Amino acid sequence: MKSVDDSLDMKKTLENIHPDIIHIHGSIKWNITNDFRIVISPHGENINRDAYVVIARSEMERKKLSETYERLEVVRNPFLTKTTTNDACCNQLEAIYRKVIDSDVFPLMDSNTIQMMHAMLKAGITGDARWVQLEEFHPVDWHKLHIYAHYQGISDIIRFGATVLDLQEPTSQVINSYLPPHYNEPIPLERHDATSIITKIIEGDVALLRFVELDIALRRGDIDEESFLHDLKELHFDTYLPSILQILKETTWLDEGFMPCLPQNNKYTNKLRTLMANYLRI
């Protein structure tokens, strides 16, 4: 924890540290980039910047702020009212900070955890550790991985993959995160043929669950690649397939031997990456 009183102190402080959260009190116009997760307590003043969450002092203030902001919390000030205490106020703020950090966790995940997630996905899909080619297993930030897997709809696959790789997975804790307004909980598709799954992805359903389902569909021995490619061409989806396969190569580590064509890294691939990155972004 570190506090500053003016924009100059803020600038100097940010040259030396990169805080998890910046909590602004009042309407001071500090030049802070969106790289930081901003929490604002307006204290009755007008605020004119985006925030991860805005904290009101009362239900009345929350109602007024709800006309502008989506994510609102109420924390009563113990200096202004006897309906709360210092301890209660601190506990509420700590819970809000934790919720902020437990939201959109992928950008906060370290490279080792991300690599191990891919390994667990492949192990969970294939059910065989021999398919996973890793020189060594790395430490895993299980808390962030559990959160990410939950909101991406892949918790069962991750759990099974961890078992296949003989990883000691701790019990997951209660998950409480802020979610973007466009978020929809991923639900397994009733139709598991590759064409139906690709159609959903092209329509914008880019939850990681869809790519796991597609990986499973492409690994099935009964898939008729010629008929599959013909169906995609009839739907004018054939040009999207190489990009989708590239995403599978990067996320579920699908082997090219199961790919109906070669993967490609192009504009549509970048679009898919952006859509996936924004899936849980606040």
Alpha carbon of 194 to those of 100, 208, 259: distances in Å?
Answer: 36, 15, 11
- Please indicate whether residue 44 or residue 88 has the higher confidence score (pLDDT): 88
- Using the predicted structure, report yes or no on whether residue 276 has a pLDDT greater than 90: yes
Question: What are the backbone dihedrals phi and psi of residue 39, each rounded to the nearest 5 degrees, phi first?
Answer: -115, 135
pLDDT attached to residue 7: 79
pLDDT digits (tens, 9 = 90+) for 28-77: 777 777 678 999 999 988 888 889 999 999 999 999 999 999 999 999 98
Q: How many CB atoms lie within 10 A of CB 250?
A: 15
Tokens for 272, please give them: 């898919």
- Using the predicted structure, report yes or no on whether residue 205 has a pLDDT greater than 90: yes
Q: How many CB atoms lie within 10 A of CB 271?
A: 13
Q: Categorize the per-residue pLDDT at 6 as very low, low, confident or very high, splitting at 50, 70 and 90.
A: confident
pLDDT attached to residue 34: 67
**Which residue, among 175, 185, 169, has the nearest Cα to 116 in the 3D structure?**
169
pLDDT attached to residue 172: 79
Where helices occur in the chain by DSSP H, the ranges are: 7-16, 59-65, 86-101, 111-126, 142-152, 155-164, 194-202, 208-219, 225-234, 241-251, 267-277
Averaged pLDDT, 150-174: 94
Q: Which residue has the tokens 């991300």?
A: 114
Q: What is the pTM of this model?
A: 0.92
Alpha carbon of 254 to those of 3, 17, 44, 77, 193: distances in Å?
Answer: 48, 39, 54, 53, 17
Long-range contacts made by residues 232-239, C-beta under 8 angstroms, separation at least 24? 232/195, 232/198, 235/195, 235/199, 237/195, 237/198, 237/199, 237/202, 239/268
Residue 229 burial (10 A CB sphere; 0-12, 13-18, 19+): middle
